Structure 1
Amino acid sequence: MENGVKTNEFDVYGDEDTADIKYRTMHWWKAAALMLAETVSLGILSVPSVFNALGMVAGCILVISLGTIATATGYTMGQFKLRYPHVHNMADAGMVLGGPVWREILGTAQVVFLIFICGSHVLTGLIAFDTITNGASCSVVWAVITALVCFLLTIPRTLNGISYLSVASFISIMAAVLITMIGVGQIGHQGGVGVTSHLNFANGFLAVTDIIFAYAGHVAFLTFISEMRDPRDFPKALYALQIADTTLYLIVGVVVYAFAGAGTVSPALGNTGHVLRRVAYGVALPTIVVAGVINGHVCAKLAFVRVFRMDDGSVSRHMSSHTRTGWVTWIGICAGIWALAFVIAEVIPFFNDLLGVISALFASWFTYGISGIFWFHLHPRGSRPRAQAVFWGAIVLAGAFIMVAGLYSSIYSIVEGYRSGSFPSPFSCVNRALA
């Protein structure tokens, strides 16, 4: 009982004492593993190319500074969740901040963002299979296979059930980047490493959005916390995540760029020789799939909770029991998400620019700006330390700036790409393996 109200009435999953399906079962280290698998997978693959675009010094500064800010914004998101236990996703947060209109705006934005992330995983899986097999089959077939595998692995109803896959995902990406670093070391220094860089605004900021995307796991944090055994342990998971991913981004970015030089490509696994590149992509397949599964699961859970949670805070038996209606609805939602992801992967057949667009539109707010709004909501006027208010006000403004500048840079890059004819046509069988 808290302030005269039963806490479980405001918890998204209600009272689980008699539930057949129990959601709130994750220890903090399982949440950390999920967060690491979700965040590092595709993010780490674009970091070396950012160092190539911006130079070694700017790359290191960006990784450290944006990682530090992402830690602060993640912590504030956790505090918001503790203040409002019923908040399960950005739609619920929008309802708290601004009523039904903001619930629909933030909920729609979260769904679109997560589906686009799933699409980027299908696209990366397609590239991986084409690289491994030397384009032995139509690339559309590989996209279908990736989407189908991701769909099947998304079906477990709880994040605790998926958390074990995250261990395999982490081992997979670590092995892949280790192979890549060994490979570029064997090839030797290619020259052309720059301490600084001279780029136009559009190309420079497009590289910045790749780092922003590398810390863009915040979109799923509220859902992760909702399935933790003790939400107060979230800071432990957050710190474990941020220390690990910042360290990994620095090591991989510096090492790969130091050896590959001006020829650094994205995804990072393409910087080795032909044979090692195929091996690295084969080893990376689990993380490409599992990280996509985690994002797909969070997206499906948002829709599932929206369908079966009542306005009074109670939950339908279809959410907590093994009913036919519950399972058909869940599987149908998962299938719809991965079908859309497949279409996105085929219609938008480019890697960095896809990351740039979705980072500009959504990661700018979910990772940075929205946490500033959370802070102001948690600290009413008159109780705000001035220095902190200035900092969080700057975070909100930074979110708006990143969105506008990132969209401009991404659209500019896409226009240039189509003008030069460097993108394949939609649903094309052309081999997209990294040469």
Structure 2
Amino acid sequence: MPSYEDASEGQRAHQADIEKQTSQHSRTYHDGNRRLSTFDKEDPFGDESDAEIKYRTMSWWQAAMVMIAETISLGILSLPSVLASIGLVPGLILIVSLGLIATYTGYTMYQFKLVYPGVHNMADVGEVLMGPIGREVLGAAQVIFLIFTMGSHVLTFTIAMNAITGHATCTIVWGIIGLVILCICSLPRTLKKVSYMSIASFISIFSAVMVTMIGVGIEQPDPVVHATVKTGFASAFASVTNIIFAYAGHVAFFSFISELKNPKDFPRALIFLQAWDITLYIIVALVVYRYTGPDVKSPALGSANNVVKRVAYGIALPTIIIAGIIYAHVAAKYIYVRIFRGTKHMSKRTWLAVGSWVGIVLCLWVIAWIIAESIPVFNDLLSLISSLFASWFTYGLSGVLWLYINHGQWFKNWRKTSLTVANSLIFCLGAAICGIGLYASGVAIKSDAGSGGSWTCADNQSTG
């Protein structure tokens, strides 16, 4: 069986090898049974030559912008507080190292997609790996993860509106307003339309963190910062899970590849994303922590004075909304494709198709709003999401995917052996993050339970 792991031997030669071996792999039998037939052949959107709605329309740069808007959003706002919790040196080392691993695991997902072109989401991956049970388990996990992440965007919207307006009205009212706005903006059915909004999202978050960095640099020029910080285990590991959340975009990668005009363009979009997010994460975390010190807020936009904070949150509103829309789109698209795959409703604007899409979007956002009102502490919500889901979707699962498509070749040569060990360790990394992270986030949520904020009109800026 071929090698799928090396992208450095020349892009054209490598892609030709992938195509050749993909064809061979689709004919592979194990114990007299085919591994899978459905996902070897079928594209999730079928033949779009005469389709009223075409899905495979994104260029690589549009995919890159969607990925940037999805990934570089709320995660970046928690990173300065991570440095305050565990120290400057370990925090920066973790941001870089986890980012590099996330780049590799994203590429592994791309390789898996080339082998199984019909895979559109994590549920499809689960069916390839474990049959119908795997489909239900990973499909449910994907939707739950996306809904929780949508909830974090509703929560951040309420924090932003309280900051901008000086808590002009009940926080629950801001949550309902955010719910309505996010529902309406999630109605487009294709990612290409969302990609244009993603450009505004990137400009938004970039400008907001720039305003914050300039603001804290002018106001607090010389606080005390620490290279390392002595802290409790649970608190330290909860901070690590916030870094993981900053790289939690992998859950949607299969959906993004499926809507590319040319799926082989995905590595370009991935490298573009990772270059931007690692660089921005380092700069923002370092600068904001350096000029704010141990009292840095999370989300980080709250670290500046009231005027700068209001301006920063105002500028950040587009990314708070648009990144939430992308997560909602992926969740809704999974359910929609699951219901209508192979029918005329996939590519037509029938009453059933439109009504179903609107209903799915509305239900998802209502559940997300309930989660946001129930877990009102920003870092605690991110930590829980990361521990339960991002640990697997960004890290652990990718190790399994590599081992699966390279089955029978694990110890073929020294290079294969090295990659087998590396991907086994990536799987173990995901398992460790999940188990330890759940403990740490549980401790944090319990300790913050007495601070109030759940289902209340109170100002939630301090609980963020």
TM-score, normalising length: structure 2: 0.90
**1:325 matches 2:325:** no
Question: Shift in Å at residue 18 of structure 1?
Answer: 0.6
SS in 1 for 2:230: coil
2:40·2:115 contact (CA, 8 Å) conserved in 1?
A: no
Partner-residue secondary structure (3-state), 2:460:
coil
Counterparts of residues 84-163 of structure 1 (less than 5 Å): 84-163=116-195
Paired amino acid for 1:415: K
User: Offset of 1:54 from its aligned partner?
Assistant: 1.2
Deviations along 1:384-433, one digit per CA (max 9) or x if unpaired, are 41111000000001110000110010001111112xx2132x32111223
Aligned twin of 1:312: none
Partner residue of 2:12?
none
Is the counterpart of residue 428 in structure 1 residue 456 in structure 2? Answer: yes
Is residue 2:207 matched to residue 1:181? no
Q: 2-side partners of 1:353 and 1:275: how far apart? A: 27
Question: Is 1:357 equivalent to 2:377 in the alignment?
Answer: no
Structure 2 unpaired stretches of 5+: 1-18, 28-36
Match of 1:16 among 16, 30, 48: 48
Of residues 367, 374, 378 in structure 1, which corresponds to 2:394? 367
Say if 1:135 and 1:433, in contact at 8 Å, map to a contact too: no
Rounded to whole Å, the distance in 2 between the matches of 1:211 and 1:359 is 9
Give 1:307 shift. 0.2
Structure 1 stretch displaced more, 377-386 or 296-305: 377-386
- Aligned Cα root-mean-square deviation (Å): 1.6
Match 1:397 to one of 404, 407, 428: 428
Give per-residue Cα distances to partners, 1:106-140, cap 9 Å, x unaligned: 00000000000000000000000011111111111
Matched letter for residue 339 of structure 1 = V
**1:6 to 1:214, Cα distance in 2 relative to 1, 3 A:** closer
CA contact (8 A) 1:8 1:14 kept: no
Partner of 1:208: 240
Q: Read off the aligned partner of 1:395 and give its amino acid letter.
A: I
Question: Of 321, 345, 370, which residue of structure 2 is paired with 1:343?
Answer: 370
C-alpha distance in 2 between matches for 1:342 and 1:68: 33
The CA distance in 2 between the partners of 1:236 and 1:302, in whole Å, is 25
Residue in 2 aligned with 1:235?
267
Aligned-pair distance for 1:9?
A: 5.2
Report the Cα offset of residue 189 of structure 1: 2.6
How far off its partner does 1:305 sit? Answer: 0.3
Give 1:348 deviation, angstroms.
1.2
Aligned-partner Cα distance in 2 for 1:217–1:423: 30
The amino acid that maps onto 2:417 is R
Can you give the 5+ residue segments of structure 1 that lack an aligned partner in the other structure? 310-314
CA contact (8 A) 2:403 2:410 kept: no
Farther-moved stretch of structure 1 (190-199 vs 2-11): 2-11
Please show how residues 413-424 of structure 1 align to structure 2 within 5 Å: 413-418=444-449, 421-424=450-453
1:127 alignment partner AA:
I
The verdict on how the C-alpha distance between 1:61 and 1:8 changes in structure 2, with shifts beyond 3 A counting, is closer
CA distances 1:220-248 after superposition (whole Å, capped 9, x unpaired): 00000000000111000000000000000
Distance 1:293 1:72, change over 3 A: same
- Which position in structure 2 is the counterpart of 1:406? 437
Distance in 1 between the 2:386 and 2:403 partners? 24
Counterpart of 1:279? 311
Q: Report deviation, 1:344.
A: 0.7
C-alpha distance in 1 between matches for 2:461 and 2:173: 14
Aligned length: 427
Judge conservation of contact 1:77–1:222 (CA < 8 Å) in 2: yes
Looking at structure 1, the residues matched to 115 and 192 of structure 2 have their Cα atoms a distance apart, in angstroms, of 23
User: Letter of the aligned partner of 1:376 in structure 2?
Assistant: L
Alignment-derived partner of residue 77 in structure 1: 109
CA distance in 2, matches of 1:241, 1:49: 23
Check 1:72–1:434 CA distance in 2 against 1; reply closer, same or farther (3 A cut): same
> Which deviates more from structure 2 when the two are superposed, residues 233-242 or residues 1-10?
1-10
The Cα shift of 1:382 comes to 3.4
Q: Which amino acid aligns with 1:45?
A: L
State how 1:163-312 maps to structure 2 within 5 Å.
163-309=195-341
